[in-house]
């Protein structure tokens, strides 16, 4: 799989039941936009199945699958045992039989019992069969901080999966992206790790069900600027926008880019922006050492070196386990830490 240029992506099914999605334009919370996207996918293709712990009658810990079992039945929305490895192993078998399973992992820290199934099996099977078989499995993982949770309930494990060839990794940051990207992920014939920022679940935004704005593996400029390029993904996009608004008050114009796709990365908009601004700051919740931010920074340094007026700078969580809730504010990058990096970039 190409790790730089975004590959051609099969479009998600367009045929939907009249009641399978919200009105053409409606304001929805991020979580309910995901619900609507999965409802549309379930309605469009009988081979789509949802699997996970307490996702049926309960509707999941974050109520993202609420109402779907009542609508589509227990054979389409399956409550599973508390066994993540078993969930993924079963999903692989279902994919081999022609189904499109969508697996929910309750919290980011719970994915590791299934890590072997994901990285040693699922990610390698298409290559092992020389492309003769596809494995359209989606793994939904609520991830990241900002909710004051306990150990194993707040982590940013994206680097493990972006490092693994054979996996697509994406993370929406708006309700509209959540609605469309989950459908595109389900339509993909490759396995997709679908990272859902927990802090965004209650964010409301407009969802346009008439047409997707961007392909699954495209990055997006969310704010135009001229002095510094700010790049991030998931919940960090909101923090970058806060930093950009504060910087504007100090006379600095920041361009903000939402990565959206973590593997493969769509570098086009990032490189275009850096060649105009000459400076870049990457921000992430995950620890900085050997992280996604490390890879993006290195690639930008290689491909836009002669346009840079300063080194690419990174702002990240610290290289420690995610802390208890009371220390979360010190661990997670905030607007002040990002602005400090902006000031350093401008000082060169």
pLDDT at residue 86, as a whole number = 95
Q: Which residues of 50-71 are buried (b: 16+ CB within 10 A; e: fewer)?
A: bbbbebbeebbbbebbbebbee
**Cα separation, 92 vs 99, whole angstroms:** 9
25-208: in CATH 3.40.50.970: yes
143, 157 in Cβ contact below 8 A? Answer: yes
pTM for this prediction: 0.90
pLDDT at residue 148, as a whole number = 67
> For residue 314, what are the contacts with CB-CB under 8 A and spacing of at least 6?
281, 282, 283, 284, 288, 291, 293, 294, 297, 341
- Whether 153 is catalytic: yes
The list of the chain residues with pLDDT below 70 reads: 1-23, 148, 150
103, 91 in Cβ contact below 8 A? Answer: yes
217, 206 in Cβ contact below 8 A? Answer: no
Closest CA to 205 of 215, 216, 213, 195: 213
Domain extent listing, the chain:
25-208, 220-347
Only one residue has tokens 């275009």, namely 272
Same fold, 25-208 and 220-347: yes
Going from the C-alpha of 125 to that of each of 45, 72, 157, 186, 261, the distances in angstroms are 23, 30, 22, 18, 22
Instruction: Indicate the DSSP class of residue 322.
Output: P
If one counts every other C-beta atom within 10 angstroms of the C-beta of residue 339, the result is 20
123: three-class secondary structure by DSSP: helix
If one counts every other C-beta atom within 10 angstroms of the C-beta of residue 331, the result is 19
**Cα separation, 234 vs 171, whole angstroms:** 6
Going from the C-alpha of 240 to that of each of 43, 204, 243, 327, the distances in angstroms are 36, 18, 5, 21
| pLDDT tens digits, 157-171 | 999 999 999 999 999
Closest CA to 159 of 296, 315, 335, 341: 296
Strand partners, 12: none
Residue ranges with strand state E in the chain: 25-29, 48-52, 77-79, 100-104, 138-143, 168-170, 192-197, 204-208, 220-223, 228-232, 254-258, 261-263, 280-287, 313-317
pLDDT at residue 9, as a whole number = 35
Identify the active-site residue in 47, 146, 153, 233. Answer: 153
pLDDT at residue 211, as a whole number = 85
Only one residue has tokens 């066994």, namely 83
Structure tokens at 221: 């400029």
220-347 in CATH: which number? 3.40.50.920
pLDDT at residue 150, as a whole number = 67
């Amino acid at each position: 799989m190409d790790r730089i240029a975004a590959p051609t992506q099969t479009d998600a099914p367009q045929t939907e039941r009249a009641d399978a999605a919200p009105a053409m334009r409606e304001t929805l919370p991020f979580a309910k936009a995901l619900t609507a996207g999965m409802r549309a996918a379930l309605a469009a293709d009988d081979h789509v199945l949802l699997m996970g712990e307490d996702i049926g009658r309960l509707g999941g810990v974050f109520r993202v699958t609420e109402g779907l079992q009542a609508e589509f039945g227990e054979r389409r929305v399956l409550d599973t045992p508390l066994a993540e490895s078993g969930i993924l192993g079963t999903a692989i078998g279902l994919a081999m039989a022609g189904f499109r399973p969508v697996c929910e992992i309750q919290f980011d820290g719970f994915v590791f019992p299934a890590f072997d199934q994901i990285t040693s099996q699922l990610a390698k099977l298409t290559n092992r069969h020389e492309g003769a078989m596809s494995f359209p499995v989606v793994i939904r993982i609520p991830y990241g901080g900002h909710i004051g949770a306990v150990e194993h309930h707040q982590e940013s494990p994206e680097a493990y999966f972006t490092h693994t060839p054979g996996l697509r990794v994406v993370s929406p940051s708006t309700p509209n992206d959540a609605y469309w990207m989950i459908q595109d992920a389900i339509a993909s014939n490759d396995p997709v790790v679908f990272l859902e920022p927990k802090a965004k679940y209650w964010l409301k935004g407009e969802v346009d069900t008439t047409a997707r704005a961007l392909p699954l593996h495209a990055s997006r400029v969310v704010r135009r600027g001229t002095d510094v390029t700010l790049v991030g993904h998931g919940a960090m996009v909101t923090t970058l926008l806060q930093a950009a608004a504060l910087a504007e008050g100090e006379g600095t114009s920041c361009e903000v880019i939402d990565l959206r796709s973590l593997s493969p990365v769509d570098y086009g908009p990032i490189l275009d922006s850096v060649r105009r601004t000459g400076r870049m700051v990457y921000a992430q919740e995950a620890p900085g050492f050997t992280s996604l931010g490390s890879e993006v920074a290195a690639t930008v340094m290689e491909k836009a070196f002669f346009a840079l007026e300063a080194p690419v700078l990174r702002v990240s969580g610290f290289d420690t386990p995610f802390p208890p809730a009371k220390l979360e504010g010190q661990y997670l990058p905030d607007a002040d830490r990002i602005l400090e990096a902006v000031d350093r970039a401008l000082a060169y």
